[in-house]
Structure 1
Amino acid sequence: MTDILLNALAAGLILALVCGPLGTLVTWQRMAYFGDTLAHSALLGLALGLSWQIRLEWAVLLACTGIAVLLFALQLWRDTALDSLLGILSHTSLALGLVALSFMDGPAFDLNSFLFGDLLAVMPEDLRLLAGIATVVLLLLGCYWRGLVAVIAHAELAAVEGRNVNALRLLLMLLIAATVAVAMKVVGVLLITAMLIIPASAAGRLSRSPEQCAVIAILCGVAAVASGLAAAWTWDSPGGPSVVLCAALIFVAAQFSRGFR
Structure 2
Amino acid sequence: MLDDFMWRAALAGLGVGLAAAPLGCFVVWRRIAYFGDATAHAAILGVALALLWNISIFAGVVSIALLMAISVSLLSGKGYAMDTLLGVMAHSALAIGLVAVSFVAGVRIDLHAYLFGDILAVGKTDLVIIWSGAILVIGLMLWRWQALLTATLNEELAHASHINPRREQLVLTIALAIVVAVALKVVGALLIAALLIIPAATARPFSRTPEQMAVIAAVIAMAATTGGLRAAYTFNTPTGPTIVSLAAMFFVISTLASQGWQRFARQH
Q: TM-score range by the shorter chain?
A: over 0.9
Contact 2:114 2:185 in 1 (8 A): yes
Match of 1:20 in 2: 21
Could you tell me how far apart the structure 1 residues matched to 2:149 and 2:82 are? 19
Name the stretch that deviates more: 102-111 or 211-220. Answer: 102-111
Q: Deviations over 1:92-119 (max 9, x none)?
A: 2122212222334334422111111111
Q: TM-score, normalised by structure 2?
A: 0.92
Deviation at 1:81, TM superposition (A): 3.3
- The one-letter amino acid paired with 1:111 is L
Secondary structure at the residue paired with 1:146? helix
Deviation at 1:79, TM superposition (A): 6.2
Structural mapping, 1:156-235, within 5 Å: 156-235=156-235
Could you tell me how far apart the structure 2 residues matched to 1:5 and 1:126 are? 14
Q: Deviations over 1:69-128 (max 9, x none)?
A: 21122226x264322221121122122212222334334422111111111111111010
| CA distance 1:156–1:34, shift in 2 (3 Å) | same
Match of 1:254 in 2: 254
Q: Deviations over 1:239-260 (max 9, x none)?
A: 2211111101000000011011
Contact 1:61 1:177 in 2 (8 A): yes
Secondary structure at the residue paired with 1:132? helix
Deviation at 1:145, TM superposition (A): 0.4
Contact 1:61 1:182 in 2 (8 A): no
| CA distance 1:80–1:161, shift in 2 (3 Å) | farther
Match of 1:54 in 2: 55
Could you tell me how far apart the structure 1 residues matched to 2:121 and 2:178 are? 21
Could you tell me how far apart the structure 1 residues matched to 2:179 and 2:79 are? 26
Secondary structure at the residue paired with 2:190? coil
Match of 1:143 in 2: 143
Match of 1:93 in 2: 93
Could you tell me how far apart the structure 2 residues matched to 1:121 and 1:140 are? 28
Match of 2:266 in 1: none
Deviation at 1:207, TM superposition (A): 1.1
Could you tell me how far apart the structure 2 residues matched to 1:102 and 1:226 are? 34
Contact 1:206 1:213 in 2 (8 A): yes
- The one-letter amino acid paired with 1:92 is S
Gaps of 5+ in 2: 262-268
Contact 1:14 1:131 in 2 (8 A): yes
Could you tell me how far apart the structure 2 residues matched to 1:252 and 1:242 are? 15
Deviation at 1:43, TM superposition (A): 1.4
Secondary structure at the residue paired with 2:105? coil
Could you tell me how far apart the structure 2 residues matched to 1:228 and 1:40 are? 22
Structural mapping, 1:5-154, within 5 Å: 5-75=6-76, 78=78, 80-154=80-154
Q: TM-score, normalised by structure 1?
A: 0.95
Q: Deviations over 1:160-194 (max 9, x none)?
A: 22111110011111111111022101111111111
Gaps of 5+ in 1: none
Contact 1:148 1:168 in 2 (8 A): yes
Name the stretch that deviates more: 117-126 or 97-106. Answer: 97-106
Name the stretch that deviates more: 85-94 or 243-252. Answer: 85-94
- The one-letter amino acid paired with 1:115 is L
Name the stretch that deviates more: 96-105 or 171-180. Answer: 96-105
Deviation at 1:205, TM superposition (A): 2.0
Name the stretch that deviates more: 85-94 or 164-173. Answer: 85-94
